[in-house]
């Protein structure tokens, strides 16, 4: 071997050794940092803790407390009603005109229009299947039906009323 080959091997060995030490140092640092991360709290343990520290009851003093309780219940009911689509109506024509008609009137994306020819095979599967596909969504060979027509604020009853309206208005 020549002298410059030996010199290269010495330097190459030192570089490889240094890289090995850096790698070992990074592994030890990562191990140390991983040990310092607190373990995740399981959801069941968090639920048990929340149940354990929950207040046992509430104090309602006289008429003032009863009035506050009634007002809170009314506010909660109003908030729930405001989050339901179309004011909670179960009039299928209103929901169809405002939501479903965008696809089902013109057959957008393979949606069946209100023609008996498009619906006979679907109706043969039963209304429970139609309800399920309308509520949960469905991907078929002709297109995609998004869950609740793409409006998650619709209730199941509103979707069922709209499906019933569509079936009763087939041409």
pLDDT per residue as tens digits for the range 127-151: 898 898 888 888 877 778 888 888 8
Q: Is 145 within 8 Å of 133 (Cβ atoms)?
A: yes
8 Å CB contact between 94 and 86: yes
Instruction: Convert the pLDDT of each residue in 77-90 to its tens digit.
Output: 777 666 677 777 78
Instruction: Give the sign of the dihedral formed by CA 2, CA 3, CA 6, CA 11.
Output: negative
Give residue 168's pLDDT: 87
């Amino acid at each position: 071997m020549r002298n410059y080959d030996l010199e290269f091997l010495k330097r190459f060995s030192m570089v490889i050794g240094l890289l090995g030490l850096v790698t070992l140092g990074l592994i030890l640092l990562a191990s140390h940092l991983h040990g310092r991360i607190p373990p995740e709290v399981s959801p069941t343990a968090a639920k048990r803790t929340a149940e354990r520290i929950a207040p046992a009851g509430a104090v309602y003093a006289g008429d003032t407390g009863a009035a506050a309780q009634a007002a809170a219940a009314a506010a909660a009911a109003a908030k729930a009603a405001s989050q339901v689509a179309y004011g909670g109506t179960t009039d299928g024509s209103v929901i169809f005109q405002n939501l479903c008609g965008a696809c089902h009137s013109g057959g957008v994306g393979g949606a069946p229009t209100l023609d008996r020819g498009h619906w006979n095979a679907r109706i043969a599967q039963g209304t429970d299947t139609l309800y399920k596909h309308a509520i949960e969504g469905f991907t078929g060979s002709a297109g995609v039906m998004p869950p609740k027509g793409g409006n998650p604020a619709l209730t199941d009853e509103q979707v069922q009323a709209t499906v019933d309206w569509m079936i009763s208005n087939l041409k």
